[in-house]
Amino acid sequence: MTIINLGDLTIESARSLLHEGKISARELTSIYQEEINTKNPELNAYLEVFDDTFAEAKEIDERLRSGEAPRALEGIPFAIKDNILIKDRICSAASRILENYQASYDAFVIKKLREAGALFLGRTNMDEFAMGSSTENSAFGATKNPYDPSRVPGGSSGGSAVSVASNLALAALGSDTGGSIRQPAGFCGVVGLKPTYGAVSRSGLIAMASSLDQIGPIAKTVRDAELIFDVIKGKDLLDSTSVQYQPQIPNLKSKKLRVGVPKEYFSVKGGEGIDKDVLGVINKAIETLRGLGHEIKEVSLPHTPYALSCYYIIAPAEISANLARYDGVRYGLYKEGKNVIEEYFKTRAAGLGEEVRRRIILGTYVLSAGYYEAYYGRASKVRSLIKKDFENVFREVDLLITPISPKPAFKIGEKIDDPLSMYLEDIFLVTANLAGVPALSLPFGQVDRGGVSLPVGIQLIASWFSESILFEAGKILESHR
């Protein structure tokens, strides 16, 4: 057996090793399982590690030995966020209310990964129902940042980001409603993609806010994220908002990219603005692109300052509707009451965590008679303006470069009692969800905090169905890190 350095392994290199018979899928699976056994007790990235991955790996090995051409993700071990359904597995969304819920079907993306030969190591921790930016809102304990276990890994896809960053999986799936793939990827020094809305089917994703949710990859390199995206995208009859992916072939006049620096992202209100070390990393990325001859241009998306307000009205409104189904009747936890209505109240009080209850109540409020126009109605109009801003700016430039988060990973407990300060974490991220455009986050530098080096990343945003531009620019930056 070849000695494997997990730190350097990518999907492409693992595929070659598997194809050339230098390692078997069983060996690769065992290596990851050992890493999980060693590190997961401290990091809490996985909620469950599957016990039959090895048996599935055996089938992959037989297939490889039979000489069949390897499929796109043949033998690649994945970690799956616990809000994506895998048939016959528990899928809890890190909530007490679904603690014992067993999925009766595969999500579309799981079907796609299976068909491509992927293996599933387990399901990863997250903020309950994907509501949060730190993975502290899990009903099953917080996940720790591998660079500094006293800090958060980001969220809500914290377990998936940590599993990739700590070599507990070669790649992972997350979901992103307002930054839940990109922010944890940034805090953990890995790559995260939120695809264009509609590019990936949401069938089998436990719904949070249906007009914003997208599933996407978390991986070690931009190329790996691209390989996964190519497998999971596509039209699905079970999600009427999914579309046949037609890539927008960039109409580049030359090999040079036009990169927009949106000024509103650099003059945020609230908090103390962008940390100067984080700003240093972004500026270095901008200067790198400029140095390679790409055009850098300051641009404006004038409605950016309203995006977070808009998001925290629309998302809770959709949450309050989507989570009405957790009533103790069809699935999940059940608490006895004297009649069916009392059972709803008791079940939901016992099964839903604090942040989930807060958002359901906020959402019910902004949709209630007398407030609808001032909040939800108005926010839906502001959303149109935010979308228009992107349409306008992408006539001028091919992509945008922005920070992911104002600061590097924060301490566990630092923001948990102040919901607004937690929401402000998403200030640079929610715009892409509101407009539906694709966005990629990738690591680009480190900052020192108390003698610990923490990763800092950048976000690239492109026009609808222009993921190819994100991959191209991402690879350029990756090779000049």
Partner 1 sequence: MISPKEVQKIAQLARIELAPGEEEKLSKDLESILRYMDSIAEVAVEDIEESMHTVQVNVFRSDRKVEKFDDAAPLVAPAPRKEKGFIKVKKIIG
Q: Single out the residue of 13, 102, 288, 300 in contact with partner 1 (rule: CB under 8 A).
A: 102
Return the number of the residue (38 or 240) whose C-beta is nearest partner 1: 240
Q: Which of the ranges 129-137, 138-146, 303-311, 408-416 carries the binding residues for partner 1, by CB under 8 A?
A: 303-311
Dihedrals phi, psi of 154, to nearest 5 degrees: 85, 175
Site for partner 1 in 371-400 (CB under 8 A): 374-375, 377-385, 387
Under DSSP, the state recorded for 418 is -
3 state SS of 26: helix
Pick from 237, 246, 276, 451 the residue near partner 1 by CB under 8 A: 237
354-373: contacts with partner 1 (CB under 8 A): 357-358, 360-362, 364-365, 368
Active site (annotated) includes residue 156: yes
Stretch binding partner 1 (CB under 8 A), from 126-134, 172-180, 395-403, 419-427:
419-427
Q: Which stretch binds partner 1 (CB under 8 A): 128-136, 285-293, 323-331, 468-476?
A: 323-331
Residue spans of beta strands (DSSP E) within 343-393 = none
Which of 240, 267, 283, 392 is in the footprint of partner 1 by CB under 8 A?
Answer: 240
| Separation between Cα atoms, residue 106 and residue 87, nearest integer Å | 5
Amino acid at 215: I
| 6 DSSP assignment | G
Taking the least distance from each CB to partner 1, the nearer of 56 and 327 is: 327
From edge to edge, which strands make up the β-sheet containing 258-262? Answer: 46-49, 119-124, 77-81, 171-176, 214-219, 191-194, 439-449, 452-462, 399-403, 258-262, 295-299
Please tell me the distance from the alpha carbon of residue 464 to that of residue 436, in angstroms, as a whole number: 7
Contact status: 211 vs partner 1 (CB under 8 A): yes
* Residue 475 binding partner 1, by CB under 8 A: no
- Is residue 324 close enough to count as binding partner 1 by CB under 8 A? yes
Write down the least CB distance from residue 424 to partner 1, Å. Answer: 9
Among candidates 317, 322, 374, 324, which has minimal Cα distance to 345?
324
Catalytic-labelled residue, pool 138, 160, 180, 320: 180
Strands 258-262 and 399-403: parallel
Q: Which is nearer to partner 1, 17 or 307 (CB)?
A: 307
What is d(CA 418, CA 121) in angstroms, rounded to the nearest whole number? 35
Encoded tokens for 253: 């006049």
Q: 3-state DSSP helix/strand/coil percent for the chain, to nearest 5? A: 40, 15, 40
Catalytic residue among 39, 81, 112, 144: 81
Q: Which is nearer to partner 1, 421 or 446 (CB)?
A: 421
- Residue 30 is among the residues annotated as catalytic for this protein: no
Binding letters toward partner 1, positions 444-473, x by CB under 8 A: --------------------x---------
Burial class (CB within 10 angstroms; exposed 0-12, middle 13-18, buried 19+) of 343: middle
Residue 27 — φ and ψ, nearest 5°? -65, -45
Asked if 329 touches partner 1 (CB under 8 A), the answer is yes
Which DSSP symbol is given to 196? P
Residue 380 a catalytic site member = no
Residue the block writes with tokens 């007398």: 370
Contacts to partner 1 by CB under 8 A: 101-102, 104, 196-198, 211, 237, 240-241, 243, 270, 303, 305-306, 308-310, 312-313, 320, 324, 327-334, 339-341, 343-346, 348-349, 352, 357-358, 360-362, 364-365, 368, 374-375, 377-385, 387, 419-420, 423, 434-436, 464
Q: Would you please indicate which residues are annotated as catalytic (active-site) residues?
A: 81, 156, 180
